[in-house]
Structure 1
């Protein structure tokens, strides 16, 4: 069983680590993560960049998939993602909860809900489909 610490170590020197994303809970049926809103995450209009939000949501969904890889799988890749941005943030922390919709042998589908911690408002709804990879890594 992979833990939040395992996921954070894996992400530390990759994009999630550079953006300040921290996995706060990792399990087979839910992943929680957070990201402090910082100036380098903002769009030129002064609001949180949609790409920052998508990266947070996709990271949580990806670690959920990783925690549920079937026997013999060597990894996964995202084959489709969709996001609906309903709000934004200028400060504080955004957090995400990712849950599985489908955990199959060849594909997984995960939903992520991103919220602004301080206001409780939903920032984005996200759905991600991953293809499970087999063979040599």
Structure 2
């Protein structure tokens, strides 16, 4: 697949967008911008765990939507925005510590909608969560 991205900001620019938001509060960091993907990490710690000591499913969804929304907004015109319309998540494996890494890749990038698949893996490369997000392209 050729790159769907229209813009190529730096990692510092992408991470600055998350300052003082839920993204920075959970320790999410965009770590890589590839030809057709956005990758980021999130710690499994007190900020992202549920009361039983496991990574909270909602934290995984926040990571997934952050990565997909970031990627989606790199695919639209300057006067447009990609906004989450629907997201689902299958929580495949529990994790209690370390760092999880999510990778968002486009399934479909259209003029009015986008579909993204987000794989979240633990440090051993095992699938923790598989998510899909549909974004609506607005503005323009």
TM-score scaled by structure 2? 0.89
Residue segments in structure 2 that go unaligned for 5+ positions in a row: 1-7
CA distance in 1, matches of 2:34, 2:139: 22
Task: Encode CA deviations 1:110-137: one digit per residue, 9 max, x unaligned.
Answer: 10000001x22110000000000115xx
TM-score scaled by structure 1? 0.91
- Matching of residues 101-116 of structure 1 within 5 Å: 101-116=107-122
- Matching of residues 84-103 of structure 1 within 5 Å: 84-103=90-109
Contact 1:27 1:64 in 2 (8 A): no
TM superposition shift of 1:26: 2.2
Match of 2:136 in 1: 131
CA distance in 1, matches of 2:55, 2:10: 28
**Structure (1 or 2) with the greater helix fraction:** 1
Pick the aligned partner of 1:41 from 48, 68, 76.
48
After superposing on structure 2, the runs of 4+ consecutive aligned residues of structure 1 that deviate more than 6 Å are none
Equivalent position SS for 2:17: helix
